[in-house]
């Protein structure tokens, strides 16, 4: 029988009514002839309740125990869904991370999946059982401790399980009906995509679109898991197909730009009049790397005095203060005149595998933004995307401008 992995997030299992709705989606696919594994998140709100207790328990909480506490949320949902299915006459059993097992690294709170032995799940299929799997959790085989994969980790659980059982398809059910050309709350003319290439989805997720966890897209791409993003709020009897993540070759009419993403959680730092000498970049970025601060969008230009250089780069917004402090401390060593920072910036990106074969795609954007009076603070490009850093006040205008420019508006 063909195999299907279905994943339902927190809002899709928020209460018993929603869980019964999930059971209807499962029953439909089973009736259609699939062996089904369902991956579930915690009921929405539950993880926050558990995290709140942890924050109350200790200022700096023990990451091992954090995982013990928060992983209980998915455990509850898995048991309740299995129970609901059994109550409706559908053979089912729940699986916790340690029971399968889903082996992970020991990085509590953000563990990576190392290995999944799908044998026990497949044995369950042969008994006609639906496997209901607690998402987001795994087992550190060294310490036999419960681990968690980080927020959104249930997406990764689902794709990894799909790869482990060689599923024919993986359906990620969310509270939206697919992947859009951009956030429809910002651009009402945004269109749902029928298909998106793995590479594009990876960039979209990395650059701010919050539909899927980045790691889950990487896994889907590596293992060629045919993955749909679709809505659990559809009538289970009349489901919509959603958006398919697939290989580039499987997309017939490939547009140049597929989507516009934006990320507000960036901050800009500029070092003015840095002494321009060999090794200066290392002097700036090594201390940040040692502090585990990711640096993005680096721009280096000659200063107005012609002898020194100005360096601009971005860091995650949450690391802004820490990054500034580290650089100020190293000021004499790096030898810069002054530091300027801004956290009211936004990174706007256009993504599309079609850029590979078209020149001047980014240049058109720079022109269009300039025409609207939007100043570009930094630019980065890669083979299939470019990003610009601008003042956050222009976010909506810039996203809408690029969305129209590349012909993504619907209707």
| Residues contributing to the site for its own copies (CB under 8 A) | 16, 19, 50, 53-54, 56-62, 64-69, 71-73, 75-76, 78-80, 82-84, 86-88, 93-94, 96, 98-99, 144, 146
Shortest reach from residue 134's CB to its own copies, in Å: 9
Calculated CA dihedral for residues 70, 76, 79, 85, nearest 10 degrees: -120
Shortest reach from residue 98's CB to its own copies, in Å: 7
Q: Quick one: angle between helices 72-87 and 63-70, nearest 10?
A: 20
Sign of CA dihedral 37, 41, 44, 50: positive
Return the structure tokens found at 102. 């889903």
From edge to edge, which strands make up the β-sheet containing 137-140? 113-116, 102-104, 137-140, 145-148
- The nearer residue to its own copies, 98 or 173, going by C-beta atoms, is 98
Q: Is 166 helix (H, G, I), strand (E, B) or coil?
A: coil
Calculated CA dihedral for residues 49, 53, 56, 62, nearest 10 degrees: -120
Which whole-number Å values give the CA distances from 255 to 49, 179, 197, 347, in the listed order?
Answer: 43, 15, 11, 22
Shortest reach from residue 41's CB to its own copies, in Å: 14
Calculated CA dihedral for residues 139, 145, 150, 151, nearest 10 degrees: 90
Shortest reach from residue 24's CB to its own copies, in Å: 14
**DSSP secondary structure letters along 40-63:** E-PPTTHHHHHHHHHHHH-SS--H
Shortest reach from residue 19's CB to its own copies, in Å: 7
- The nearer residue to its own copies, 87 or 128, going by C-beta atoms, is 87
Cβ neighbours of 80 (radius 10 Å): 21
Please state whether the peptide bond connecting residue 101 to the residue before it is cis, i.e. omega within 30 degrees of 0.
Answer: yes
- The nearer residue to its own copies, 143 or 375, going by C-beta atoms, is 143
Q: 132-147: b or e for each residue (b if 16 or more CB lie within 10 Å)?
A: bbbbbbbbbbeeebbb
349 with 376: CB under 8 angstroms? no
Shortest reach from residue 81's CB to its own copies, in Å: 8
Length of the chain, in residues: 411
Q: 307-342: b or e for each residue (b if 16 or more CB lie within 10 Å)?
A: ebbbbbbbbbeebbeebbeebeebeeebbbeeeebb
Count how many Cα atoms sit within 13 Å of the Cα of residue 203 in the half-sphere of its side chain: 25
Shortest reach from residue 35's CB to its own copies, in Å: 20
- The nearer residue to its own copies, 86 or 122, going by C-beta atoms, is 86
- The nearer residue to its own copies, 154 or 270, going by C-beta atoms, is 154
From edge to edge, which strands make up the β-sheet containing 169-174? 92-95, 130-134, 35-40, 3-8, 169-174, 227-231, 243-246, 195-197
- The nearer residue to its own copies, 82 or 353, going by C-beta atoms, is 82
- The nearer residue to its own copies, 144 or 185, going by C-beta atoms, is 144
- The nearer residue to its own copies, 139 or 315, going by C-beta atoms, is 139
Shortest reach from residue 75's CB to its own copies, in Å: 5
Shortest reach from residue 375's CB to its own copies, in Å: 47
Residue 313 C-alpha from the chain's centroid: 23
- The nearer residue to its own copies, 53 or 328, going by C-beta atoms, is 53
- The nearer residue to its own copies, 56 or 142, going by C-beta atoms, is 56
Shortest reach from residue 212's CB to its own copies, in Å: 27
């Amino acid at each position: 029988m063909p195999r299907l992995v279905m994943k339902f997030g927190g809002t899709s299992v928020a209460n018993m009514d929603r869980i019964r709705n999930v059971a209807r989606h499962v029953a439909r696919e089973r009736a259609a002839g699939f062996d089904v594994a369902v991956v579930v998140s915690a009921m929405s709100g539950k993880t926050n309740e558990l995290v709140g207790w942890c924050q109350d328990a200790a200022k700096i909480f023990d990451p091992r125990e954090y995982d013990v506490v928060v992983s209980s949320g998915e455990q509850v949902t898995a048991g309740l869904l299995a129970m609901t299915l059994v109550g409706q006459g559908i053979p089912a059993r729940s699986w916790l991370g340690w029971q399968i097992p889903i082996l992970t690294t020991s990085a509590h709170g953000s563990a990576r999946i190392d290995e999944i032995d799908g044998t026990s799940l497949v044995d369950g299929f042969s008994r006609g059982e639906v496997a209901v799997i607690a998402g987001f959790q795994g087992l550190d085989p060294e310490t036999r401790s419960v681990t968690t994969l980080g927020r959104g980790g249930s997406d990764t659980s689902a794709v990894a399980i799909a790869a482990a059982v060689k599923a024919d398809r993986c359906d990620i059910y969310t509270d939206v009906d697919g992947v859009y050309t951009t956030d429809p709350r910002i651009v009402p003319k945004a269109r749902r995509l029928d298909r998106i290439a793995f590479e594009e989805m990876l960039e979209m997720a990395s650059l701010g679109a919050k539909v899927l966890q980045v790691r889950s897209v990487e896994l889907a791409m590596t293992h060629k898991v045919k993955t749909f993003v679709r809505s659990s709020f559809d009538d289970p009897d009349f489901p919509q197909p959603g958006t398919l993540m697939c290989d580039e070759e499987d997309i017939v009419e490939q547009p140049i730009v597929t989507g516009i993403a934006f990320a507000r959680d960036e901050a800009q730092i500029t070092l003015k009049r840095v002494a321009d000498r060999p090794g200066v970049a290392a002097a700036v970025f090594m201390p940040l790397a040692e502090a585990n601060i990711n640096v993005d969008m680096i721009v280096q230009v000659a200063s107005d005095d012609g002898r020194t250089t100005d360096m601009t780069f971005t860091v995650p917004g949450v690391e802004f203060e820490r990054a500034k402090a580290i650089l100020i401390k190293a000021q004499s060593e790096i030898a810069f005149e002054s530091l300027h920072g801004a956290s009211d910036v936004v990174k706007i990106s256009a993504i599309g595998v079609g850029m590979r074969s078209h020149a001047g795609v980014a240049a058109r954007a720079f022109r269009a933004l300039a025409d609207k009076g939007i100043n570009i603070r930094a630019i980065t490009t890669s083979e299939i995307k470019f990003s610009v850093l601008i003042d956050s006040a222009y976010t909506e205008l810039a996203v809408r401008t690029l969305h129209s420019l590349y012909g993504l508006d619907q209707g």
